[in-house]
Amino acid sequence: MVEEQHYDVIVIGTGAGGGTLAHRLAPTGKKVLLLERGDYLPRERDNWDSTAVFVQGKYRAPEFWLDQHGDQFPPEVNYYVGGNTKFYGAALFRLRPQDFGELRHHGGISPAWPIRYEDLEPYYTEAEHLYLVHGAHGEDPSEGAASAPYRFPAVEHEPRIQQLSDDLEKQGLHPFHLPIGVNLTQDEHGQPTHASACIRCDRVDGFPCLVQSKSDAQVICVDPALRHDNVQMVTNAYVERLETDSSGRTVKAVVTRLGDGSTVRFNADVVVVSCGAVNSAALLLRSANDQHPNGLANSSDVVGRNYLRHNNLALMAVSKEPNPTVFQKTLALNDWYLGSDDWDYPLGGIQMLGKSDAEQIRANAPPWAGKVSPKMPFEELAHHAIDFWLCGEDLPMPENRVTLEKDGQIRLTLDEKHNAEGVKRLRHTLEGMLGKLGMEEHHLLDHSIFMHKGMPIGATAHQAGTVRFGADPASSALDVNCKAHDLDNLYVVDTSFFPSIGAVNPSLTAIAMALRVADHLAERLR
Ligand SMILES: Cc1cc2nc3c(=O)[nH]c(=O)nc-3n(C[C@H](O)[C@H](O)[C@H](O)COP(=O)(O)OP(=O)(O)OC[C@H]3O[C@@H](n4cnc5c(N)ncnc54)[C@H](O)[C@@H]3O)c2cc1C
Ligand code: SF4
């Protein structure tokens, strides 16, 4: 147990945002306390077991949120040291430069950010290096300029995916190597070397890495940060609320319920909230007081609003040839990110999912599947499956929001169909090409492991936007350094700050911003 004492910085949450920020502050010598509601994820064989992870949901948070109708649903969230990065696919993309400006979509406007791509670019480079991203800048025509190459070469395609890449190129497209954070050293055939930590297995997407070789926030940031004497962490420490001083301008206590049921008040010069977009908003709303009747940092009334995710679709195509690929998450395609020949609005991006196995397919097959496909048992289907993930941009709507019930339960109000036309067109575009790519779509299973929980409200994996940053305190909760406009010592550093989410996976942007805010804090505390 850490003594109740004063810290320079308290960071609440140890995921992509909080873990990275603590890592960056560790060498400054400032006293940093990490408070994490979860514990270390147990290392056990079930980490890599499809049934345990996907069917039983063994590691998911044991809680339910309410939707707009008051119906309960289990959110896709994981409370552990490292946060949701323990389970992420480690696809670490930069937003496109255009995502930082205003973009017109079929369903409305994706608003501009208060900073430009160029402002974040140095931090994107540092984030890629820190998280051991393997990739190849320059292959994807939609990406912005990079000031330095990746530290590690792209993960090589296995033969079936190389063939897919070649076939896509023959169609005049620009497939590229997917940027991914793994501690992999490859030999000349792309196989892991004897000394490689990553064994290049088929469990990279959605499973925790049993051998700690995925670049998650615990392995890359929290554990190394804790080697500094000035950094401490308390696990099983659920932050209930933040209290302000009499001026209302300063957070003076972080009220925390510990694993033994006791409540402790920690305090620090600076408090950083990094609980993930839904829980960060919930914490600020829970912390309402006389000076902040609508919740902390919420004079603008935007906290909890503009909840973002992605308009996702997983598509399982069946290759005529077997697909013996093990590590499938090596290819992506952004040719239609901003539009297509017959559509002036953004469609989104395509990337490979981790390779599906028979157990995952069985778990998600509709009950009549066996009758429709009697000649193709799940094992054989899995052997021929090629798994794509299609990602379209969701747009901010004030009505899509996190609120709290009287008893504190989280309610998520969401229009699930908003701006979905782009990703539908992306799907039709891909489907139209499958024949030329030696595949056919398998209609049985167009909702796959992630997506059958996918598009519905429970797909909270890419949550963002609920505590947006901006230049105007009337329409944003945070300033450009992610400090609350309304308070002097409160920051929010996770995916909450996004004014828009683009159509790429969000973590690298959260990581880059955490590095940028940490530099600002180091300067402030000097
Ligand atoms: C299956 C899956 C696959 C994904 N794949 C990718 C991918 O390939 N690429 C990508 O970029 N993103 C991916 N994501 C999304 C990615 O994991 C998140 O974007 C990222 O983790 C968000 O970081 P964060 O800091 O905002 O929040 P989190 O990582 O969720 O961290 C929040 C932390 O705060 C803690 N916490 C919450 N409330 C409290 C409280 N009250 N008190 C104390 N602690 C608290 C939580 O336990 C958690 O540790 C995936 C997510 C999932 C679930
Ligand atoms: S591919 Fe590598 S990083 Fe991913 S789960 Fe397997 S060993 Fe871990």
How do residues 115-133 score in pLDDT, each as one tens digit? 999 999 999 999 999 999 9
Asked whether 494 lines ligand 1 (CB < 6 A), one says yes
- Do 296 and 486 meet the contact criterion of CB atoms below 8 Å apart? yes
How do residues 478-525 score in pLDDT, each as one tens digit? 999 999 999 999 999 999 999 999 999 999 999 999 999 999 999 999
pLDDT of 370 above 80 = no
Place 204 in a pLDDT band, splitting at 50, 70 and 90.
confident
CA 441 / ligand 1 centre spacing (Å) = 32
Nearest listed ligand to the Cα of residue 507: 1
| Nearest-angstrom CA–CA distance, 479 and 469 | 5
- pLDDT at position 484: 98
Asked whether 459 lines ligand 1 (CB < 6 A), one says no
Sheet containing 385-393: give its strands across: 176-177, 331-333, 349-352, 385-393, 310-319, 439-441
Ligand 1 atom at minimum distance from 35 CA: 43
- pLDDT at position 367: 53
What pTM does this model have? 0.96
pLDDT of 369 above 70 = no
Place 260 in a pLDDT band, splitting at 50, 70 and 90.
very high
- pLDDT at position 380: 83
The count of other CB atoms within 10 Å of the CB of residue 400 is 23
Nearest listed ligand to the Cα of residue 242: 1
Ligand 2 atom at minimum distance from 192 CA: 2
How do residues 289-302 score in pLDDT, each as one tens digit? 999 999 999 999 99
Q: Are strands 72-73 and 251-257 parallel, antiparallel or unpaired?
A: unpaired
Ligand 2 atom at minimum distance from 327 CA: 1
Helix (H, G, I), strand (E, B) or coil at 162: helix
Asked whether 477 lines ligand 2 (CB < 6 A), one says no
Place 441 in a pLDDT band, splitting at 50, 70 and 90.
low
| Nearest-angstrom CA–CA distance, 131 and 138 | 19
User: What are phi and psi for residue 319, nearest 5 degrees?
Assistant: -80, 140
CA 20 / ligand 1 centre spacing (Å) = 12
Asked whether 274 lines ligand 1 (CB < 6 A), one says yes
Handedness of CA 502, 504, 505, 509 (dihedral sign): negative
Nearest listed ligand to the Cα of residue 92: 1
- Do 327 and 204 meet the contact criterion of CB atoms below 8 Å apart? yes
Place 379 in a pLDDT band, splitting at 50, 70 and 90.
confident
Helix (H, G, I), strand (E, B) or coil at 8: strand
Helix (H, G, I), strand (E, B) or coil at 109: strand
pLDDT of 446 above 70 = no
| Nearest-angstrom CA–CA distance, 235 and 1 | 9
Higher-confidence position of 412 and 5: 412
Pocket residue to mutate for ligand 1, from 88, 234, 409, 466, most atoms within 8 A of Cβ: 88
Asked whether 88 lines ligand 1 (CB < 6 A), one says yes
3-state secondary structure 457-503: CCCCCCCECCCCECCCCCCCCECCCCEECCCCCEEECCHHHCCCCCC
CA 325 / ligand 1 centre spacing (Å) = 28
- pLDDT at position 442: 56
Q: Letter for the amino acid at 282?
A: A
Place 5 in a pLDDT band, splitting at 50, 70 and 90.
confident
Asked whether 38 lines ligand 1 (CB < 6 A), one says yes
Pocket residue to mutate for ligand 2, from 41, 209, 220, most atoms within 8 A of Cβ: 209
Least confident of 143-147, 159-163, 356-360: 356-360
How do residues 60-105 score in pLDDT, each as one tens digit? 999 999 999 999 999 999 999 999 999 999 999 999 999 999 999 9
Nearest listed ligand to the Cα of residue 134: 2
Asked whether 216 lines ligand 1 (CB < 6 A), one says no
Place 434 in a pLDDT band, splitting at 50, 70 and 90.
confident
Mean pLDDT rounded to a whole number for the chain: 93
CA 298 / ligand 1 centre spacing (Å) = 23
Nearest listed ligand to the Cα of residue 211: 2
- pLDDT at position 454: 43
Name the nearest CA neighbour of 491 among 325, 297, 349. Answer: 297
Asked whether 209 lines ligand 2 (CB < 6 A), one says yes
Helix (H, G, I), strand (E, B) or coil at 83: helix
Percent of the chain with pLDDT over 90: 83
DSSP 112: P
| Nearest-angstrom CA–CA distance, 351 and 524 | 40
Asked whether 327 lines ligand 2 (CB < 6 A), one says yes
Q: Strands (DSSP E) along 213-324, which ranges?
A: 231-234, 238-244, 251-257, 263-273, 310-319
Asked whether 199 lines ligand 2 (CB < 6 A), one says yes
Burial of 141 per CB tally in 10 Å (0-12, 13-18, 19+) = exposed
Residues 6+ apart with CB under 8 A from 304: 281, 282, 284, 285, 295, 298, 401, 402, 403, 466
Helix (H, G, I), strand (E, B) or coil at 251: strand
How do residues 150-184 score in pLDDT, each as one tens digit? 999 999 999 999 999 999 999 999 999 999 999 99
Residues 314-343, mean pLDDT to the nearest whole number: 92
